[in-house]
Amino acid sequence: MKLRVSINALAEQELNETAAYYESKSVGLGVTFLEEIEHAIRVVIEHPESAPLIEGAVRRKLVRKFPYGVLYSLRPGEIRILAVMNQKRRPYYWRGRE
């Protein structure tokens, strides 16, 4: 059974802001960032329990080529993305997100 993916509004904002930042640094880099995020999410969909638990029921799938992780939790029939997190900044700012 394929799980539905939903994204927290703040995680979506992080994703868009980070892509815009990378794009401002180099044309095409923002698109590459988005492609790597999409790849990470596809892996999560195919193997939802493969990423390590980092706190409680929250898992982190690292993103290739960028210092980011996709934080998510599993719900019945759903993968809920909680954050698109820079691995070098405030590690627990996402706590409390659903």
**Which domains are assigned to the chain?**
4-86 (3.30.2310.20)
Per-residue model confidence (pLDDT) at position 89: 80
pTM for the whole thing? 0.89
**pLDDT above 70 (res 93):** no
Kindly give the interhelix angle for 29-46 and 9-25, rounded to the nearest 10 degrees. Answer: 140
**pLDDT above 90 (res 2):** no
Task: Enumerate residues 6+ apart whose C-beta is below 8 A from 92.
Answer: 55
